[in-house]
Structure 1
Amino acid sequence: MITPFAADGSVALAALEQLAHDVLDGGAAGLVALGTTAEPSALSPAEQSAVLELLGRVSRDRSAQLIAGGPVTPESATAALTLVPPFVRPGEDGVVAYLASVARRSPVPLVVYHVPYRTAQPLSAGALRRIAALPGVAGIKLAAGGIDADVIALMADPPPGFAILGGDDVVISPLLALGAHGGILASAHIETGAYASLMSAWEPELGHRLARLSAALFAEPNPTVIKAVLHAQGRVPTPDVRLPLLPAARESLAAVPFPSPPA
């Protein structure tokens, strides 16, 4: 979920609540709170708590799953989205040891977020299997920047009971064709029903169309274009983002083939 902002710069909680209901109505299995798309590093602790409390309430009311970044409890979330340690590049053994430690202390299962183009820490298929075998690790948000040999090796023999969720919107269709179980996709704010349909019954023509949509939505840093589209649809009060992000250019918005807002 994005974090919409009001004209005065505050978090637009009413708009966020409606967006949450929209995506669940559209067929999403659950919500993700305080992921990268939510601009969590630009939110104050109080704002983060308000977002988590609201999305937790919506999820409970709708019997939907909630994956959340940051500290969580069994009452607030189903699972914790846990980033592979960024910047320090501890190596595969360090990553596995770190995630094992986090999983032992976590009150909820982990969904490991592997995004090497942000963390600078690559992981082989063997390391991903070691992570999958850790007690307390339920799955992975796999955003390797494409489909490379390690992704193919992992998908050729997926670990049992381990949810592999695509996190690169543009390549979610081929990843599903390889056997991924679902996705955590910012693009699904815009055409939730179409992405949900792709998850339940992979269809190449639909996958190609949604790949073009995702490419347009990620033409600038996420979630700037998505916010611009949601504002153009009248679903959020402003297209605003917080520094270091800048609002999307009008040309980027014009290039998005987005549908009319939901009735």
Structure 2
Amino acid sequence: MSLQTQLRGTGVALVTPFKANGDVDYDALGKVIDHVIDGKVEYIVSLGTTGETPVLDKAEKNSIAKYTYLKVAGRVPVVVGIGGNNTKEIINEIQSFPLDEAVAVLSASPYYSKPSQQGIYEHYKAIAQASPKPVLLYNVPGRTGRNMEAATTLRLAKEVENIAGIKEACGDMAQSMKIMRDKPKDFLVVSGDDALALPQIACGFEGVISVAANALPTEFSEMVRECLRGDFEEAKTMNDKLIEAYELMFAENNPAGVKAFMNHLGLLGNNLRLPVTPVSEDLYNRIKAYLLTK
């Protein structure tokens, strides 16, 4: 089965639940995995940045990946996030990480360093050449400080054999449309922005890697499926009901917002690792009020 078939629809960028003492809460992680699979998401992304990977150590990442494979048990495909701004270290991590049960590696564009477009190209080329699995680019300039331009994405798609797709979260519809116009036929393009998933799928995107689907997998994944079926009238009706949820989830911080939702739903404790802290009491109460109206 092709990667485009496996990763069409809704992928969920899983949060990492923590206990009050800061340890990884594997019981809650298992509950979250069952929640999103029962909610009909098409695949799972383990150890994406929504999973607070910058504050996980190597042993924790390794353990979370292995637990996720075991808990998923082949029910849906699993993508693993391995990224950062130290190219050599990413290559070392990819080569030593348990990837046998993953279908692809999702790698965020280098943060903070603000490399040139050539630097971004060389970074991804080196990672792709070292990876035993197909690599998905991840462009999220609001987090990294540097946009990966459409021309760079297309160059990587056409010139580097093991680069299979992109999670595009630039927020720029014109850039998104350029990628869709000029990409290779077998290059997977998915949204990285819940609030823009509907119009981006209308432009040809094949789905979304979602934050919101951690909390609301049934509603969100069905909205995406309606988009992919071409029923945008029904999809809009469903998406309109989710707009407030998107706003609340990202009002202060991700994943603090979605974790507050999930705490209200009884899926996990409202615990994060510094420097991220739980949402304010006011936002927490607004989230609770939203869920009570559902």
- Whether TM exceeds 0.5 here: the answer is yes
Instruction: Name the structure with the higher helix share.
Output: 2
Give the match for residue 271 of structure 2.
240
Query: Sequence identity of aligned pairs in percent?
Result: 28
Q: Is the CA contact (8 Å cut-off) linking 1:173 and 1:208 kept in structure 2?
A: no
For the aligned residues, what is the CA RMSD? Answer: 1.9
Q: 1:108 aligns with which of 133, 138, 150?
A: 133
**TM-score, normalising length from structure 2?**
0.82
2-structure distance, mates of 1:213, 1:156: 31
Q: Does 1:24 align with 2:33?
A: no
User: Looking at both structures, which has the greater relative contact order when contacts are Cα pairs under 8 Å and sequence separation is at least 6?
Assistant: 2
Q: Which runs of structure 2 are paired with 1:86-165 in the superposition (5 Å)?
A: 86-133=111-158, 134-144=160-170, 146-165=171-190
Give the match for residue 204 of structure 1.
236
1-structure distance, mates of 2:155, 2:140: 17
* Residue 226 of structure 1: how far off its partner (Å): 1.2
* Residue 244 of structure 1: how far off its partner (Å): 0.5
Letter in 2 for 1:44: D
Q: Does 1:253 align with 2:281?
A: no
Letter in 2 for 1:27: K
Give the match for residue 189 of structure 1.
214
Q: 2:74 aligns with which of 41, 57, 62?
A: 62
* Residue 125 of structure 1: how far off its partner (Å): 1.9
* Residue 157 of structure 1: how far off its partner (Å): 4.4
Q: 1:177 aligns with which of 180, 184, 202?
A: 202
For structure 1, the residue ranges without an aligned partner over 5 or more in a row are none
* Residue 90 of structure 1: how far off its partner (Å): 2.3
Letter in 2 for 1:41: P
Greater mean deviation of Cα atoms: 18-27 or 205-214: 205-214
**What do the CA deviations read for 1:55-83 (whole angstroms, capped 9, x no partner)?**
12223x13311111233444142111112
Q: Is the CA contact (8 Å cut-off) linking 1:132 and 1:139 kept in structure 2?
A: yes
Q: In 2 relative to 1, CA 50–204 (structure 1 residues): closer, same or farther, beyond 3 Å?
A: same
Q: 1:77 aligns with which of 102, 106, 110?
A: 102
Runs of 4+ with >6 A deviation? none
Question: Which secondary structure does the structure 1 equivalent of 2:23 belong to?
Answer: coil
Give the match for residue 226 of structure 1.
258
Greater mean deviation of Cα atoms: 120-129 or 101-110: 120-129
Matched residue count: 258
**TM-score, normalising length from structure 1?**
0.91
1-structure distance, mates of 2:36, 2:191: 18
Q: In 2 relative to 1, CA 259–15 (structure 1 residues): closer, same or farther, beyond 3 Å?
A: farther
